[in-house]
Structure 1
Amino acid sequence: MNQTSTDQSVETQVREQLAELLKGGFAPNVILLREFDYRKAGILLDGLHFSAWILLGHIQARHQTLLNFMKAPGAHPNVWPDAHWPENHVPESDQEWQQAIDRYEEDLQEMIRLVEDPETQLFEVQGNGKTRSWAAMTTLHHTGYHIGQLKTIGRQLGVW
């Protein structure tokens, strides 16, 4: 096997692994969010400044920023702006909760399509020094951190 085919094989493997992890690996984030009872999504536990609803809004905002960079890096170089923390900590209805999850899932699917597309230059360094693969991995890290918090909140509230 020559170096070019080895490089392509490694890149294919990286794309597949990134896509799998973005989906949530063994614990898909979308399933976890759908299981969360929206009536408990607005509860602020003692000692926390966020509810599950606030976490979902924060995850979505950061995810959207990173997705925009992946779609058009030159137009969206600011990949780590100040954190968006929604002020409203309670979803108004199950419909609002589900629509927020739908938007998150749509953005996630779009990011996965970009990662899987061999035309997407995952490793090309952009003007801000970042790559699309960095944005995908940052999404994994950031979302995983906050999904862990959401899971802990859910356990404290008896969701699971």
Structure 2
Amino acid sequence: MKSEHYKSIMALNDDTDKLVREQLVELLKGGFAPSVILLREFDYSKAGVILDGLHFSAWILLGHIRARQMTLLSFMKDPDENLEVWPDAHWPENHVPASEQEWNSAIDQFEKELHEMIGIVRHTGADLYKVQANGKTFSWAAMTTLHHTGYHIGQLKTIGRQLGVW
């Protein structure tokens, strides 16, 4: 029979694990600036504009964000087959989406992939803290995703302000 002290420590650990998972989910969504909402608000007709001094448009940023998120999601889905979690950055060469449908489809895919990652984070059977063969953890992958996405969503928001989107 487990001692009351042990049960209390396990309950604390379960509560802490639940709290960390909830906070990771909130931040993966974008926290106070939800990424999917900001992307959907961005005016498609301005998605291909590259402002003076920058080397990217909103379309390029979206492609870059998606590529990194997909790399980290692939690691979380199958860590043994996806050990390379920080390959060279993918920056799409085409700075303009071919159509509004392509822009919206890319946002849909970003959201779908984000929800897949959130599903893994929420799944209590997924050990967020287990060190994988590459030395990384699922919690690291989730935090890296939220940090990387947040950084570039901030750039997208700045571009949008300069272009009169917001």
Shorter-chain TM-score tier: over 0.9
For the residue of structure 2 that corresponds to 1:136, the secondary structure is: helix
In 2, Cα distance between the equivalents of 1:27 and 1:99?
A: 21
1:91-131 alpha-carbon deviations (Å, 9 max, x no partner): 11111000000000000000001000001110000011100
For the residue of structure 1 that corresponds to 2:89, the secondary structure is: coil
Q: CA RMSD in A?
A: 0.7
Could you tell me which residue of structure 1 aligns to residue 105 of structure 2? 99
Taking only the aligned residue pairs, the percentage that are identical comes to 69
Q: Which runs of 5+ in 1 are unaligned?
A: none
Query: TM-score by structure 2 length?
Result: 0.95
In 1, Cα distance between the equivalents of 2:118 and 2:29?
A: 8
Matches within 5 A, 1:1-160: 2-160=8-166
Query: TM-score by structure 1 length?
Result: 0.98
Deviant stretches of 4+, over 2 Å: none
Count of aligned pairs between the two proteins: 160
In 2, Cα distance between the equivalents of 1:90 and 1:69?
A: 29
Q: 1:77 Cα shift? A: 0.5
Larger Rg: 2
